[in-house]
A = this chain, B = another copy of it.
């Protein structure tokens, strides 16, 4: 580590004072992941305020073979933004937090160009201020950043209608590992001019370069929301309800969330809110319309009635709607009070969800009678948050069982053709599972792509690739 002080001097020369952090204490928050499971070690955190600063730093690091961990809002659930042990003490974090301006709104082409560090919630507000809507919405939207959302191909509650982040990106500006800038910020709706390189960056989790800005699709604002809470006896009934909604309301179905009775118990206790109804499983669904549609609520109630979903509450006011959503959105926070859990971000074909939930519960109960499940998620796109708590086991001892429990759960996921990285990415938490989801040929292809773009293997080392 003899060179570190030389490098720090070099970085000081090329950066403004507010772009460089070298104090251990000031760096601490950047080095710890939000679940406090990964503790990285770096000798500097760079917070560029311009693309030129990003390029200068990346070029310097390329020349001196210094590992870089790109970081957005540091909300990764998989240690994706925290330096891995493979580069402990060897490199730097490049935080995009201060590269966070709106570059422009283009109403005619329904798009907005923002820098990578802009917080998701701000982008939602920017769109609203322009009379438009940006649909990505997820639990950490108050602190996660657009660049990270793109790097992880984020999902969330509106994927049913608007797709994941990949579907919302029109263009990217990227600093490659060698410091080259690739600028594909474009408002073109049709453009077939060779390989669409930016698609490789989407979902690459910082292993192929640093996203510095993006042009994002905007949509017409929603004028009509109809939100319902429906109780069902089992998963099969929830899947039937989903198909009924798609049949009658098609693209107006914008959210379809599954919540177990126990998950609802947790969040209703935390919020001190009454539960909308009692049932073994709950569905929070929302229909949206970009026109004023006064008939939609009645249509929904009629369809629920005709299909014999008797246990249903339809929000009668905006306040009631917010309460219903609040119950869903506070599950993650509420379960933290239970202690640590073994979390699974899984997805599978929708027709297989019931089979998976039954089989996986049986397998877990047989092996761990004290296991408690908190199950919720986006049934509308087949993705579940499947979290295992262990009663009578101290919080910090739960992780002793993680390897075994993961193996049990993931075996069931793979058995139904699912993925164990639905919307949180691979990070450093799940690299060992890649060979179960990608063939040897696909993994070899990924290595080829990685080698082509990051020839010195400096970017987010120890992530994604097994």
Contact = CB atoms under 8 A, between A and B. Distances in A.
Given A188-B349, A246-B220, A441-B182, A195 B419 contact: no
A69 to B, nearest CB: 18
A188 B419 contact: yes
Contacts of A147: none
A195 B208 contact: yes
Give how many copies assemble into the complex. Answer: 2
Interface in A389-447: 417-419, 421-426, 434, 437-439, 441-443, 445-446
Contact of A183 (B192, B349, B351, B439): B439
A193 interface: yes
A194 B203 contact: yes
Nearest to A289: B250
Interface in A143-179: 152-153, 155, 159, 163-164, 166-167, 176
Given A250-B220, A441-B182, A167 B164 contact: no
Interface string A177-197: 000111110111111111111
B197 A421 contact: no
A448 B452 contact: yes
Interface stretch (A2-10, A22-30, A106-114): A106-114
A449 B189 contact: no
A249 interface: yes
Contacts of A194: 203-204, 426, 434, 438, 442-443, 446, 464-465
A191 B347 contact: yes
A243 interface: yes
Contacts of A184: 442
Interface stretch (A318-326, A334-342, A375-383): A375-383
A266 to B, nearest CB: 24
Nearest to A246: B220
Given A350-B109, A351-B106, A439-B183, A434 B188 contact: no
A248 interface: yes
A272 interface: no
Q: Name which of A183, A197, A425 has the most chain B CB atoms within 10 A of its CB.
A: A197
A203 B465 CA distance: 26
Question: Which residue of A299, A418, A442 has the most chain B CB atoms within 10 A of its CB atom?
Answer: A442
A413 B206 CA distance: 34
Nearest to A220: B250
B418 A188 contact: yes
Nearest to A186: B417
Residue in A186, A248, A250, A383 whose Cβ sees the most chain B Cβ within 10 Å: A250
Contact of A421 (B192, B348, B445, B464): B192
A202 interface: yes
A316 interface: no
B192 A348 contact: no
Nearest to A440: B180
